[in-house]
Structures are given as C-alpha cells and as structure tokens.
Amino acid sequence: MTIDIAAQFSRHPSGRVEADGPDNGERFRNELLAPVLLKALDRGENQKVVVDIDGCRSFGSSFLEEAFGGLSRLPSFPFAEALEILSIRSAKPHLQIYRDAILEYLADAKTQTA
C-alpha cells in the first residue's frame, strides 16, 4: 500500500491541528495515515505501507511531528506494530531532510512509548 501525500492529501501540508488550516498533520494522521496502517495490519505481516513525500513542496516540523510522531498518542493504536510496516520514500534530494525528520519523530515517539 502506498500513500502519496501530494496526490491523496496536499502538495502543501502544514500545521499541527485544524486551527492551523485544512492540510494539517492531525487531519492527515487521523483521516489517512492511521486508517491505512490499521488496514495493512489487518491484512497480515507481509503488507507494507510506503509514504511517498516526493510530490510535496516542503513540510513544517509541526505537521511532521503531529502526523507521524502523533501516531503514538492515539488511544489503543498499535504503534510498535505500525512502525514495522511503515517506510518513507523520497527520491528527491531536497526532500531527504524531511524523510530524515519523519524517521526522527517516529524514533522519538518509540522511545517515549517504550
């Protein structure tokens, strides 16, 4: 399963919560990322979820932390299992810093839930 943020959500994702605008991290997490991860987990352990960030212009840190790190704050969400099937894809060099930031937010959230 692949989530293409630009095609399925926004080319300009920004903000943490609804008050920050319609393309915020909380909305992305709750309406797209978490449901896709849960669906993939239901399908079995060979199912992977790839989040493609290449079509986006840039990302704010608040969007990335809320969308990805915020998975760990969802009640009864299987965060550890979701991390095992989630990967972030970016072939564009200028977006690598955002891929790295996502991985850092996920790692930070993992240590906080351990």
Cβ–Cβ < 8 Å for 86, 37: yes
As a whole number of angstroms, the distance between CA 64 and CA 91 comes to 18
Mean pLDDT for 96-103 is 96
pLDDT, tens digit, 9 for 90 and up, residues 43-59? 876 789 999 999 999 99
What's the pLDDT at 43?
Answer: 85
What is the side-by-side order of every strand in the sheet holding 2-4? 2-4, 49-52, 86-89
113 has pLDDT over 80: no
Mean pLDDT for 36-42 is 93
What's the pLDDT at 111?
Answer: 85
- Encode burial over 76-95: b for 16+ CB neighbours within 10 A, e otherwise: ebebeebbebbebebeeeeb
As a whole number of angstroms, the distance between CA 90 and CA 20 comes to 25
Token pair, residue 38, equals 């849960």
As a whole number of angstroms, the distance between CA 54 and CA 68 comes to 16
85 has pLDDT over 90: yes
Percent of the chain past pLDDT 90, that is, above it, reads 85
SS3 18: helix
What's the pLDDT at 73?
Answer: 92
What's the pLDDT at 114?
Answer: 64
**Domain map of the chain by residue range?**
2-113
pLDDT, tens digit, 9 for 90 and up, residues 5-36? 999 999 999 999 999 999 999 999 999 999 99
SS3 86: strand
